[in-house]
Amino acid sequence: AIEADAAAFTPQSRPRLFVIAFRGEAPAELSGGGAFVTPAVARARDRLEGAARAAWTDWSPRAPAGRNTQLADLLEPDAAVAWNPPDLTRSLVGMMSPGQAARLEALRAAGGRHVGALFRRTRREEGRSVQRAEARFDGLAGCLRTPRGGSSRQSIIVVEDGAVRTRLLAPREAARLMGLPETYVLPRGVSAALHVAGDGVCVPAVRWLADAILEPLLDALPPAGV
């Protein structure tokens, strides 16, 4: 097994576990371990016993080329999307923790344009459940989910020259975050389109997995009938 994050390919934080099984001895150039055998994967490996442990391979695929896009690069033009009314944006900002609110104020004071992703989450604070709005401005979207209520749908937050605006992530933007081409036909309904993204696997991550491990493994198989 390896753990790979879609953030290496598209601007979305989406760590996922991939289990690759191969009958026979793995080629030396593909085994030995590395960055994709994370501590969590190693702990799972070390709990195996007997034949399962003996047959385990620490895959060591080549690293991906690297991401060259940020969240802001994949968004629709401001004029092409519907923004939340100011009172809803104020409500979301009011749900931020003191630390998050301070970071937002620092961005407002800095000027310029800053694009982030925002989720509503329920946290336990001082023995009670509190709904918080949590924003990130590191160039990545949060992990896309299937839409199950308003709190599960990701929002975009833009701080520009002191003003703050928010809106929901559009289905086409979600598709781009999954590495789908512009020609990919999404369902017409918003929820159905967001299910495609939330339930999916990042396309460039799968392409890398095929190039780095699956196809070299196929090349290493003996000719048919041997």
Same domain assignment for residues 15 and 63: yes
CA 166, 201, 206 angle in degrees (round to 5)? 130
pLDDT number for residue 222: 75
Whole-prediction pTM:
0.90
Same domain assignment for residues 160 and 83: yes
Per the domain annotation, does 226 fall within a domain? no
Same domain assignment for residues 99 and 81: yes
- The CA distance from 12 to 2, in Å, is 18
Same domain assignment for residues 59 and 89: no
Same domain assignment for residues 37 and 86: no
**DSSP string across 77-116:** PGGGSPPPPHHHHHHHHHTS-HHHHHHHHHHHHH-SEEEE
Per the domain annotation, does 177 fall within a domain? no
Q: Which two tokens stand for residue 148?
A: 């199950």
Please give the chain's pLDDT, 226 residues, in tens: 999 999 999 999 999 999 999 888 888 889 988 899 999 999 999 999 999 999 999 999 999 988 999 999 999 999 999 999 999 999 999 999 999 999 999 999 999 999 999 999 888 888 889 889 999 999 999 999 887 755 568 999 999 999 999 999 999 999 999 999 999 999 999 999 999 999 899 999 999 999 999 999 998 887 765 4
Per the domain annotation, does 178 fall within a domain? no
Domain that holds residue 42: 2-67+201-220
pLDDT number for residue 44: 95
Q: Which two tokens stand for residue 2?
A: 């390896």
What is the domain count for the chain? 2
pLDDT number for residue 149: 55
Q: Which two tokens stand for residue 178?
A: 């999954």
Per the domain annotation, does 98 fall within a domain? yes
User: Which strand ranges, in their side-by-side order, compose the sheet holding 163-168?
Assistant: 128-136, 113-125, 155-160, 163-168
Per the domain annotation, does 99 fall within a domain? yes
pLDDT number for residue 209: 95
Same domain assignment for residues 164 and 89: yes
Same domain assignment for residues 83 and 140: yes
pLDDT number for residue 224: 65
Same domain assignment for residues 36 and 93: no
CA 200, 150, 108 angle in degrees (round to 5)? 100
pLDDT number for residue 122: 85
Q: Which two tokens stand for residue 218?
A: 């196929």
pLDDT number for residue 126: 84
Per the domain annotation, does 182 fall within a domain? no
Cα-based distances in Å from 12 to 6, 32, 110: 6, 28, 25
Same domain assignment for residues 213 and 151: no
Same domain assignment for residues 114 and 141: yes
Same domain assignment for residues 55 and 90: no
pLDDT number for residue 213: 94
Same domain assignment for residues 9 and 60: yes
